[in-house]
Structure 1
């Protein structure tokens, strides 16, 4: 897989406003948020899409969801509600070929708010 904008952000080549980081996951605030809270949660391993998850990736996918809950609590949106979105493939709105999840909240979310990757 070729290097993506997310790979460059994870490596620190492109600056980001980090929300979370450990050995396997990097999360950062979207520079063009689709909601008052919009964080992208990305595995450091460059998995192209949800379709490309291998058995050895299942643990990190579960961990990403735990991180989403943790960030929702830390960012004050857990009680009011939030959305976690993954866009898969061109017709699904995925524009960056690196698996990632959008954490959106901080206000009433309309139908499919933030569903496009154009904000990455």
Structure 2
């Protein structure tokens, strides 16, 4: 955990969020500024700053994140989606805790 990280604070329940899914490894919550009809954030509970900080030991966690994205696709009854990861400031990353934006459409 990073005590200054907004997403770590959401994981630790210090900051409220509309949680859609949670297990021992992953949390999914609604983005407060949605850019699509469905806009979820999928994050690992483990603090990993960026995609470039993922280690070999984290690969099962990365696989789980993609499995959860598939679950959310079906749970939300989506017809299409985009799964987006912004990496580093120059790549548009604003919160330095690895996360995916799931943008979904039902029609």
**What is the TM-score with the length of structure 2 in the denominator?**
0.94
The answer on 1:31 being equivalent to 2:32 is yes
Aligned equivalents of 2:73, 2:20: Cα separation in 1: 11
The structure carrying a bigger strand percent of its residues is 2
The answer on 1:54 being equivalent to 2:55 is yes
Q: CA deviation at 1:3?
A: 2.6
- Three-state SS of the structure 2 residue aligned to 1:39 is strand
- Pair 40,60 (structure 1): closer, same or farther in 2 beyond 3 Å: same
**Contact kept in structure 2, 1:82 and 1:103, CA below 8 Å:** yes
- Please, which runs of 5 or more residues in structure 2 have no aligned partner? none
The answer on 1:100 being equivalent to 2:105 is no
CA deviation string 1:17-54 (max 9, x = no partner): 11111111011011110001000000000000000001
Aligned residues: 106
- C-alpha root-mean-square deviation of aligned residues, in Å? 1.3
Q: Would you identify which runs of 4 or more consecutive aligned residues in structure 1 move more than 4 Å?
A: none
**What is the TM-score with the length of structure 1 in the denominator?**
0.84
